[in-house]
Amino acid sequence: MSDIDIRVTGSAGRITLTREKALNALSYDMCMAIDAALKDWATNDAVKIVVIDASGEKAFCAGGDIAELYATGTKGNYGYGRTFWRDEYRLNARIFEYPKPVVSFLQGFTMGGGVGIGCHGTHRIVCESSQISMPETGIGLIPDVGGTLILALAPGRLGEYLGLTAGRMKAADAIYAGFADHYIPQEKWPGLITALEQDGNPDILANAAEAAPDGTLEAMQGDIDQLFAGETLNDILTVLEQDGSEFATTAQKPLMRNSPLSMAATVEILHRLRGATLTIRKALDLEYRFTYRSMEKGDFLEGIRAQIIDKDRQPKWQYADRSVPAVAVSQMLMPLGADALTFEEE
């Protein structure tokens, strides 16, 4: 497949996204090729480590390929999207639960579906160009591909802040928030990958790591915890409006643009996930409840139309007054019964 290069080199199973002109956006076929390789390598004693990288300077992976999702969904065919998300989420779980080290090198944009491929492994490497984000609420979805797990585990209320504002994280912030592990300048990556291929030992990565240039999130943590602690989206919006500080005003702006239903569901999911029972499968199950319904009952198709297709940036969201009733959130997150996400066992 020209969009992806999968091979075994020495001790390493190697996956390289090569769809450079499309910012390495993930197609369904790419997801399935990665999944098949990981299944095979899990029981292959010659493969000691998996290394995932991407060609081009601009992006590791700027997300899932949503053109086909839009094309099928607008014709009333919701099955393609539901199958895409189901199988993609199974792949995300496989990476998270993988029995061997999984190393990812995340240059440029790592967004949405790219987080699902690149941020669930054991060793997640960022560099000077890295920008990681979960921008889904801007297109009528929720942070998915297991992203809600990372957001729920982030310090304080950082998960709500990043999930609602779709804020981009450079290297230090990505490490602080739990999306990455080590900062290593990109010029060192080829030599490290060669060494990983030779002996399959990821310990060299910690030894090569450097201090990342200063981030901003840690210094903002107090404000974030104070302003994003509400039980619901409505609570958060009220606090931001009443606060009136420069930080609150800045944080409010993306919340005025993004899908109210998506943001409200994001808050609810994070609150449900936090606690001792949090697992990748629980996160993906909740995410799938929303994405399964997102074309038929959510804002997804309208979000894609406004941001990607027509590019008018004027989405006509449900609950445009930002007052999302609790029952609307509950309906998007109800169990799916026979259609619930399942995980194939090895």
pLDDT tens sequence across 18-48: 999 999 999 999 999 999 999 999 999 999 9
Between CA 12 and CA 29 the distance in angstroms is: 22
Specify whether the CB–CB gap between 287 and 89 falls below 8 A: yes
Token pair 């081009």 is found at: 56
pLDDT of amino acid 1: 58
Task: Provide the residue type at 96 as one letter.
Answer: F
pLDDT at 67: 84
Range of the domain at 56: 1-346
Can you give the pLDDT at residue 340? 97
pTM passes above 0.75: yes
The set of residues, in sequence order, having a beta carbon less than 8 Å from that of 232 and lying 6+ positions away, is 264, 267, 268, 324, 326
- Beta-bridge partners for 16: 5, 53
Task: List, for residues 121-140, the tens digit of each pLDDT value.
Answer: 999 999 999 999 999 999 99
Q: Which residues are catalytic?
A: 64, 113, 136, 144
Residues of the chain with pLDDT under 50: 346
In total, how many domains does the chain have? 1
Question: What's the CATH code of the domain at 128?
Answer: 3.90.226.10
Helical spans, DSSP H, in the chain: 28-42, 66-73, 79-96, 113-118, 147-153, 158-165, 171-177, 189-199, 203-208, 217-227, 233-243, 246-257, 260-273, 280-294, 300-304, 326-332
CB 31 within 8 A of CB 87: yes
Please name which of 282, 283, 296 lies closest in space to residue 79, comparing C-alpha atoms: 296
The tokens for 249 are 């005003």
Beta strands 12-17; 59-61: pairing state = unpaired
